[in-house]
Structure 1
Amino acid sequence: MPANLTVTIDSWENGQAIPGRFAFGVPATEGHVALSDNKNPEIQWSGAPAGTKSFALICSDPDVPSSGDDVNQEGKTVPADLPRVDFYHWVVSDIPADRTSISEGEDCDGITPKGKTPGEKPYGITGLNNYTDWFAGDDDMGGNYGGYDGPCPPWNDSIVHHYHFTVYALDIETTQLKGNFGGPDLLAAMEGHILAQGEHVGTYSLNPAVSY
């Protein structure tokens, strides 16, 4: 079993609500959803074991509906018992071993229609998040969404969504991933190389009927 890495996001307590500035969408005064600041939160980690040669970061939401039939439909509610799937919001590989944080807004500060180009950054190599799939075919928003884009769960979902910000300490300097890789690609590339890992969880909902 991997050792424990201490992962901290000071902007909210572990397991508590994510502030709106880190979200893609916030509740609207008219209608259901308004676009938000969409900043990546500052994330810090410590306690990497000897032999750590790089880090990786994944933020995923495992509470996304497996079927979009009822999603954001007037007069309907996404049922709680609907099977759920992962939605990746942030995928970063090859974070240098001497890095212990990514600053607020360093990877994302605002919504970029048609997405942001993934690739090499000072803090690692960003992959694609699942807004790439969500906006596919949309004339105004379709494109490759690299790096971070924050929460925007269905406004009619009956459950709270949980966002797992997980940092991994690896025994390799590079996963060899380039180009348009996603969360599952990074998970596969890290297999057998994880020395330690830790996470900080946040919750979010756009449904006024859901308390969290």
Structure 2
Amino acid sequence: MTSSRILPPALVAALLQVAGLPVALAASPAPLDVIIPDLDPQGALPDEAALCGPAGGGPLLRGRNRSPAVAWSNAPAGTKSFALLMTDPDVPFDPSVLLSPRLIPIEAPRVTRYHWVLYDMPATLKALPVGADGDGFVPHGKPPIRTERGQRGVNANTWMLAGNPGLRGTYAGYDGPCPAVNDLKPHSYTITVYALDVEHLPAKPLMTGAQLVQAMEGHVLARGQAVGLYSRNPALRKTESE
């Protein structure tokens, strides 16, 4: 039976040099350290980050919809810009269950939706404060403009609200959580920050999250993730008295 072991990166680099191969192939760069500083002790996003607030009376769109604070570090040498995506991988595949009186089981098929798309962020940027890319719901969407913090891409509300004449539009940048009240699964909102080797991606401004992922291919030096949970199901939410 053969055995294997991982060689030290310095030794691998030396062997690659002897073989005439690029040292960059020696090892993957260390991941970025990404944090969402305002998570509660259970790892949940604050209610102010949500597009739809906790269940109970009032209109559906009643959350503060403030983009959460995010910080990152450990970017490798050669980083020329950053990109950020916030995804929800727990959206029920069948949209009809969202308005059903029945509970959505944890094992229901799920799909991913993009809630925050931001790229061409300056390499000097190390954090985004609360509300940096969204503070309140904007009917018909925030414009997909370039700000001092980067270029806004298009998020999933562009399609989710397309059937509502009073709300349809191009939604850019950040729009927060709005999980179904009847969902038994807490949603895992995943913020991924990418360190890139280009200052500006060769892409059009109206990029979706999926298009941004494609545009970054071959340019990612490092990446890191942080996850914040969120649920509107009263049975899954802890009250202040608990």
Q: TM-score normalised to the size of structure 2?
A: 0.82
Label 1:15 to 1:61 Cα distance change in 2 as closer, same or farther (>3 A). farther
User: Offset of 1:186 from its aligned partner?
Assistant: 0.7
Which ranges of structure 1 fall in alignment gaps of 5 or more residues? none
Partner secondary structure for residue 155 of structure 1: coil
From the two aligned structures, give the one with the greater strand fraction. Answer: 1
Residue in structure 1 matching 2:175, options 139, 142, 149: 149
Q: 1:140 to 1:158 in 2, by over 3 A?
A: same
Q: State the distance in 2 between where 1:157 and 1:59 align.
A: 20
Q: Which residue of structure 2 aligns with residue 118 of structure 1?
A: 144
Correspondence 1:190-209 to 2 at 5 A: 190-209=216-235
- 1:42 and 2:45 equivalent? no
Question: What SS does structure 2 have at the residue aligned with 1:61?
Answer: strand
For 1:187, give the aligned amino acid.
Answer: V
Q: Highest Rg: 1 or 2?
A: 2
Residue type of the alignment partner of 2:36: I
The count of corresponding residues between Structure 1 and Structure 2 is 211
Which secondary structure does the structure 2 equivalent of 1:58 belong to?
strand
Work out whether residues 153 and 208 of structure 2, in 8 Å CA contact, stay in contact via their aligned partners in 1.
yes
Partner SS for 2:118 = strand
Look up the match of 1:169.
195
- 1:64 is aligned to 2:74: no
Structure 1 equivalent of residue 128 of structure 2 = 102
Cα distance in 2, alignment partners of residues 2 and 76 from structure 1: 46
Amino acid at match of 2:179: P
Aligned residues of 1:90 and 1:149 also touching (Cα < 8 A): yes
Cα distance, 1:146 vs. partner?
Answer: 0.4
Higher helix residue share: 2
Q: Which has the higher contact order (CA 8 A, sep 6+)?
A: 1
Evaluate the alpha carbon distance shift between residue 179 and residue 46 of structure 1 in structure 2; reply closer, same or farther with a 3 A threshold: same
Q: 1:31 to 1:117 in 2, by over 3 A?
A: closer
1: CA distance, partners of 2:40 / 2:102: 32
More displaced, 147-156 or 24-33? 24-33
Following superposition, which runs of at least 4 residues in structure 1 exceed 3 angstroms of deviation? 31-34
Q: In the alignment, is the contact (CA less than 8 A) between 2:55 and 2:232 conserved in 1?
A: no
Letter in 1 for 2:53: V
Identity of aligned residues (%): 44
The answer on whether the counterparts of 2:48 and 2:64 sit within 8 Å (CA) in structure 1 is: yes
- Whether 1:5 and 2:32 are equivalent positions in the alignment is yes
Q: Work out the CA distance in 1 between the residues paired with 2:147 and 2:42.
A: 29
Tell me if the contact between 2:65 and 2:134 (Cα under 8 Å) persists in the aligned partners.
yes
In 1, distance between residues paired with 2:99 and 2:205?
A: 32
Deviation at 1:76, TM superposition (A): 1.5
Q: Give the residue type in structure 2 aligned to 1:18.
A: L
